[in-house]
Structure 1
Amino acid sequence: MPSITVRHLPEETHRALRARAALAGRSTEAEVRAILESVARPQDRVKLGSLLAEIGQQAGGFDLEIKRDKSVEEPISFE
């Protein structure tokens, strides 16, 4: 798993992180991880599939007349 080192963090910020972690009942490292996760990947973010589905609905939708090919292919011969 990747790791990050933060240099030159002000002492006041470090104290605030420790206090926040203590209130949440977890380590400072776990608190920083939770903060980064909530900022980088918010719960209410729009995911690509949802965005594409919405664009399709706004365009009136579309039907592709593609039928699945269920025929069995011949195995490859390496001889």
Structure 2
Amino acid sequence: MANVNVRNLPDEVHRAIRIQAAHHGRSTEAEIRDILERAAKPEGRVKLGSFLASMARETGGLTDEEVALFENARIQSPARAARFE
């Protein structure tokens, strides 16, 4: 897991987070993790795969021939690492 340092956090914000953490019965660090997770991954967010699937449904989806093209391309040419030379 990654570590993050937050510099120049106003005292009022730190105090408010400490109080919020106490109300939730957890440490300030755990409270900050929860705040960040909720901000980065909100409940109502639409994930890319779900979005693409809904677009396919709206347009009638892919034909069997189009699906076969994607499957064959995936099998014949696996992903390779990018080269920057």
TM over 0.5: yes
1:58 corresponds in structure 2 to 58
| 1:62 Cα deviation from its structure 2 partner | 2.5
User: Structure 1: where are the runs of 5+ without partners?
Assistant: 69-79
- Alignment partner of 1:28 is 2:22: no
The RMSD of aligned alpha carbons is 1.7
TM-score (norm 1): 0.78
Max Rg structure: 1
TM-score (norm 2): 0.73
2:12 corresponds in structure 1 to 12
Aligned length: 68
- Give 3-state SS (helix, strand or coil) of 1:14's partner: helix
Q: Which amino acid aligns with 2:3?
A: S
Deviations along 1:17-39, one digit per CA (max 9) or x if unpaired, are 00000000000000000000000
Deviations along 1:15-61, one digit per CA (max 9) or x if unpaired, are 00000000000000000000000000112210111101111011122
Percent identity, aligned pairs only?
54
User: Structure 2: where are the runs of 5+ without partners?
Assistant: 72-85
Q: Which amino acid aligns with 2:20?
A: R
Q: Choose between structure 1 and 2: higher helix proportion.
A: 2
Q: Give the distance between the partners of 1:31 and 1:9, measured in 2 at CA.
A: 15
